Amino acid sequence: MIEIKNLKKAFGSKIVLDGVDMVIPHGETMCIIGKSGCGKSVLLKQIVGLLTPDEGSIAVDGQDILSLNKNEMFELRQQIGFVFQGAALFDSYNVFENAVIGMYEHGVKDINLLEEEAKRVLSAVGLLPDISEKNTSNFEKEWNILSNKKPSDLSGGMKKRVGVARALVGNPKYIFYDEPTTGLDPVTSEQIDDLVLDLANRFKVTSIVITHDIFSVYKVANNVILLNNGLVQFTGTADDLKKSSDPVVQEFILRYNK
């Protein structure tokens, strides 16, 4: 569970978050919506320690992350998979290397272990056959083709899937997605929404999904938060969002109901 209280963050004189509270219960998928530049990514980055809040508290599974030392923060980071805005793949690395780069950089150099984990996560995101077929010649064939591909050989949707596969390495308890469907066509967006749902169900991960896409919200969210002017303007279920009479909520829904 993640509990955020009175979170404040400014850059110079620009106040981005001005006292944000939210609770994300275990196993839930929370969508965070709001206009471009309203602080969605800044919020997520503070939960993983990439940015430090000015005020307020963030507790992950009861641990106040602001009081963690470097090693404790490292341990916590192992529990959180982060799917960055854009796919954030390395163009010169192949799919295998892109998937397990984090594991490699954290000291795992055993090629068998790296391949094993890459097969597991690439299968989990649907880029390879089901992992139960791992020892079949078909799985090996598909693995050989896929693992050697470079990002430039992949479609937009496949790149996103590799980004998600990377976030699944090490079996995290949490997955944070920063705009996973932005830049994708509607059909591919829906496939990524399905993937988010599927991973939440199969791996029981607690997810935070930042999105612009109101259809994604209706599809994947247990709860939604709308950020506006540094504050939580709305919090509730996707259904509550639809029915809300708050003009700010209505404007958001109309604007993004493409």
Ligand X SMILES: Nc1ncnc2c1ncn2[C@@H]1O[C@H](COP(=O)(O)OP(=O)(O)O)[C@@H](O)[C@H]1O
Range in contact with Mg ion (rule: CB under 5 A) among 33-41, 52-60, 94-102, 128-136:
33-41
Nearer to ligand X, 126 or 183 (CB): 183
| Residue (of 135, 215, 145, 224) closest to 180 by Cα position | 215
For residue 135, give Cα distances in angstroms to 115, 116, 158, 234: 13, 11, 23, 49
46 binds Mg ion (CB under 5 A): no
Is beta strand 63-64 parallel, antiparallel or unpaired with respect to 80-83? unpaired
**Which of ligand X, Mg ion, none binds 93 (CB below 5-8 Å, type-dependent)?**
none
Amino acid type, 140 = E
Range in contact with ligand X (rule: CB under 6 A) among 37-45, 66-74, 100-108, 141-149:
37-45
41 binds Mg ion (CB under 5 A): yes
Nearer to ligand X, 19 or 126 (CB): 19
Quick one: DSSP state of residue 155? -
In the set 2, 7, 33, 40, which binds ligand X (CB under 6 A)?
A: 40
181 binds Mg ion (CB under 5 A): no
Helix segments in 125-227, DSSP class H: 137-147, 156-168, 186-203, 214-220
In the set 7, 24, 38, 99, which binds ligand X (CB under 6 A)?
A: 38
Least distance from ligand X to the Cβ atom of residue 121, Å: 26
For residue 166, give Cα distances in angstroms to 114, 116, 160: 12, 13, 10
First to last CA, the chain: 33
In the set 11, 74, 90, 93, which binds ligand X (CB under 6 A)?
A: 11
- Written as six digits, the tokens of 130 are 């089901």
**Residues engaged in binding Mg ion (CB under 5 A):** 41
**Residues engaged in binding ligand X (CB under 6 A):** 11, 16, 34, 36-42
